[in-house]
Structure 1
Amino acid sequence: MTPHALPFALLRHARPLLPLAAAITLLTGVVTSAHADTGKLLLTGGVSTIEGAAGGGLSPWAVIGTQATADETGFSAFASHAKTQDYGLNVAGAAVAFNNRVELSVARQDFNTGITGTLLGLPGLHLRQNILGAKVRVAGDAVLDSDSLMPQIAVGVQLKQLESSGLDDTLDALGAKRNGTDVYVSATKLFLAQGILVNGTLRATKANQNGLLGFGATLGGADNGYEIQPEISVAYLIRNNLAVGVEYRGMPNKLQTAGNAAGLGDGLRGGAWKDIFIAWAPSKNVSLTAAYVDLGRLVPATTNNKRQNGVYVSAQFAF
């Protein structure tokens, strides 16, 4: 497949964002009256994460997405697809940015449960999650402060809603909710002369597997409170439009105790997500990302305890 064909192939995987249509229409309408005419240095605004915020593929960074700089308004849209041995994930979304200070985003995730749904008597089960996000830059500028030790710092919030599905009774039995809120703070340091970007994020969350398996758990006395999870990204710019990097995203493991109480032993334990990625910007308005992902053991009770390794591809269009 040619690089130019990749975005269209990805868009065929993306499900329509029907529950988010009103929000996306609003974002698009705002941008038509004021859009980014100049633009940022390539890839310094990050790409779109699986939750819609700008950053890497897995973790948000402190950067504000789109091509908008100071006194500009920008818009971006993306489609992503991930495939492991037993599961598949399609994501699509959009974001709008104001004055390189505020970013609002929407995303819709569609998770194919594969063999797990089949063994639960729910063949073809898909878990769909809608995410609304907001991020505000509170200090620093990744590019303008690249010759100092000052990072760009941002705070963000993500409101997540897991749609009703055949898994509702199981989540209820485990004491997991279908909605939750993540709050995070990110610090991004760009060493422009060296072509290195480092990001650290701390996230307060109850999400099980990013929220695709609900939020929290109470069965068996599981800890149902918020946990602080670390997320780390490092990228190296091979040239101004090509970067390689790695990401690590910690995940709560609240379902392990609940699964044990349900007689599944460690069959619901979770672990960190990781990836090795390459991002290419063939133009200032288009970026393509490919990655090798390791999502740990997702519902090991139904997948013979296999690690879920696979591929991830994403296309972003930003203005």
Structure 2
Amino acid sequence: MKHLKKNHKPIAAAILLMGSFLSAPALAGTGKLVLTGGVSTIEGAAGGGLTPWAVIGTQATENEWGIAANITQARTDDYTVDTQGVTFAWDERIEFSLGSQTLDTGITGTALGLPGLDLEQTIVGVKYKLFGDAILDSDTWMPQVSVGLQHKSLDAAGLAPTLNTLGAKDSGTDAYISATKLFLKQGVLVNGTLRATKANQNGFLGFGSTLGGDDTDYELMPEFSVAKLLKDNLAIGAEYRFMPNKLESAGRAAGLGNGLASDDWMDVFVAWAPTKNVSLTAAYVDLGRIVPGTTNGRDQTGVYLSAQFAF
């Protein structure tokens, strides 16, 4: 099978819209403190690399529009994930995001008789700040709290019949609430997110399953981030994201043992902002087992690189 052609038309269209916003009188001016708006997650929302934070992305402050674009690649032992995204924000209150993800299935696709198989996912997100200010309230214990939705649509290509057999849907919606607190004097940021999700491997393997028992209910999964500002434009940190394991029972029912088991995700990262509009992030990632039946049970560890341009 030839390598499947990637389709990022939604992202391209959104980027074209940036031109009209760049001429708007309410576009972000001086913006926020460097790095305090977070970077872009793999799903498009502002936060760390793996988990959203309560902060509203871009450089926009009150009564301003903000725009950000990002590109990311994560390489593990057996897989490659490429993501692109754009974010629009208004008034430090609401954030809209659009992300496109492509998973190169590597040896798993080959083992399934689908060499060159790419799984593509589009994610449309919205985040709304409920109360608090992670930066301005740094002298109190009150965090900034936001809620968000992420609707994910999967194009599984040649893997779709297999996912149908497992009873996994090709779309789903995550809901989350995040609380973020910056202790400015100590230069420490902490975040906690609670996500309601049905996604298998973040949605790359569909949503829920019915083979071997109905496992299509939402599960509440916590996510945590901590970051230390070493300088005003340099931070280090770590993230931990709990993940559902909805496909393992379906895999056992299909005679695959634990061949479809999944694990939690984590990373250790460094973020650097050479200018107020540009941030670069590098991380060591551990995504646990992803289809261990075709990868000899290996944990998928590797590197994550991301660039964000925010205005």
Asked if these proteins are the same fold (TM beyond 0.5), I'd say: yes
Partner of 2:8: 17
Partner of 2:134: 142
Partner of 1:41: 33
Secondary structure at 1:296 match in 2: strand
Partner of 1:298: 290
Pick the aligned partner of 1:165 from 153, 157, 161. 157
Q: Does 1:217 align with 2:224?
A: no
Partner of 2:259: 267
How many pairs are equivalent? Answer: 305
After TM superposition, give the deviation of residue 32 of structure 1 in Å. Answer: 3.0
What is the CA–CA distance in structure 2 between the aligned matches of 1:200 and 1:222, rounded to whole Å?
29
Q: Does 1:32 align with 2:23?
A: yes
* 5+ long unaligned stretches in structure 2: 1-5
Q: Does 1:78 align with 2:70?
A: yes
Q: Any conservation in 2 of the 1:222–1:255 contact (CA below 8 Å)?
A: no
Partner of 1:318: 310
Match of 1:36, as an amino acid?
A: A
- Shift in CA distance, 97/31, structure 1 to aligned 2, threshold 3 Å: farther
Q: Any conservation in 1 of the 2:118–2:156 contact (CA below 8 Å)?
A: no
Q: Does 1:50 align with 2:36?
A: no
After TM superposition, give the deviation of residue 31 of structure 1 in Å. Answer: 4.5
Partner of 1:7: none
Superposition pairs of residues 125-274 of structure 1, within 5 angstroms:
125-274=117-266
What is the CA–CA distance in structure 2 between the aligned matches of 1:236 and 1:73, rounded to whole Å?
28
After TM superposition, give the deviation of residue 303 of structure 1 in Å. Answer: 0.2
Q: Any conservation in 1 of the 2:70–2:309 contact (CA below 8 Å)?
A: yes
After TM superposition, give the deviation of residue 27 of structure 1 in Å. Answer: 5.1
After TM superposition, give the deviation of residue 224 of structure 1 in Å. Answer: 1.1
Pick the aligned partner of 1:66 from 52, 58, 67. 58
Superposition pairs of residues 101-116 of structure 1, within 5 angstroms:
101-116=93-108
Secondary structure at 1:220 match in 2: coil
What is the CA–CA distance in structure 1 between the aligned matches of 2:260 and 2:117, rounded to whole Å?
18
- Show structure 1 runs of 4+ deviating over 6 A: none
What is the CA–CA distance in structure 2 between the aligned matches of 1:19 and 1:70, rounded to whole Å?
28
Q: Any conservation in 1 of the 2:102–2:120 contact (CA below 8 Å)?
A: yes
Match of 2:16, as an amino acid?
A: T
Q: Does 1:88 align with 2:80?
A: yes
Residue-by-residue CA offset, 1:6-31 (whole Å, 9 max, x unaligned): xxxxxxxxx66213433443455344
What is the CA–CA distance in structure 1 between the aligned matches of 2:7 and 2:255, rounded to whole Å?
38
Q: TM-score, normalised by structure 1?
A: 0.94
Match of 1:115, as an amino acid?
A: I
After TM superposition, give the deviation of residue 71 of structure 1 in Å. Answer: 1.3
Secondary structure at 1:295 match in 2: strand
Residue-by-residue CA offset, 1:292-319 (whole Å, 9 max, x unaligned): 0000000000000001100000000000
Match of 1:226, as an amino acid?
A: Y
What is the CA–CA distance in structure 1 between the aligned matches of 2:194 and 2:265, rounded to whole Å?
15
What is the CA–CA distance in structure 1 between the aligned matches of 2:208 and 2:12, rounded to whole Å?
29
- Shift in CA distance, 122/16, structure 1 to aligned 2, threshold 3 Å: closer
Q: Any conservation in 1 of the 2:238–2:267 contact (CA below 8 Å)?
A: yes
What is the CA–CA distance in structure 2 between the aligned matches of 1:124 and 1:149, rounded to whole Å?
50
What is the CA–CA distance in structure 2 between the aligned matches of 1:173 and 1:95, rounded to whole Å?
35
